[in-house]
Amino acid sequence: MRLSRQFFNRPTITVARQLLGKYLYRRINGRIIRAKITETEAYCGTRDLACHASKGLTPRTKIMFGPPGHAYVYMIYGMYHCLNVVTEKEGKPSAVLIRAVDIAKGPGRLCRELKIDKKLNGIDLIK
């Protein structure tokens, strides 16, 4: 079952917990890959110093200030991509990092396995 915008338009910690056990689906070369979410991490707005949005609105964090249910993809260490899902209402920058799935442990491996990169930054995951 596809998750709704309302699912993501809730407190970030609640969304992070309820994403556990849900599935990510990715179509690669006509093949659908299904991966069960096994680990998440919540980043709760501008007061959370670990959250990219704690520095305010920047070109990088613009997606986080937008509507819930969109992908926020960024690169760390110049070599690994990380997949986040924007949560809460527009203007309240929060997101959940998908840390691991059953077929790939760690956010970098997850993105490599599912071929997720910055080209997917900002896509609407609801549609």
67-110: pLDDT as tens digits: 999 999 999 888 899 999 999 999 999 999 999 999 999 999 99
Which residue type is seen at 92? K
pLDDT mean over 46-59: 88
Kindly give, in sequence order, each residue whose CB lies less than 8 Å from that of residue 98, ignoring residues fewer than 6 positions away: 19, 24, 37, 39, 40, 83, 84, 85, 107, 110
Which residue type is seen at 83? L
The count of C-alpha atoms lying within 13 angstroms of the C-alpha of 1, restricted to the half-sphere facing its C-beta, is 6
- Tell me the pTM: 0.93
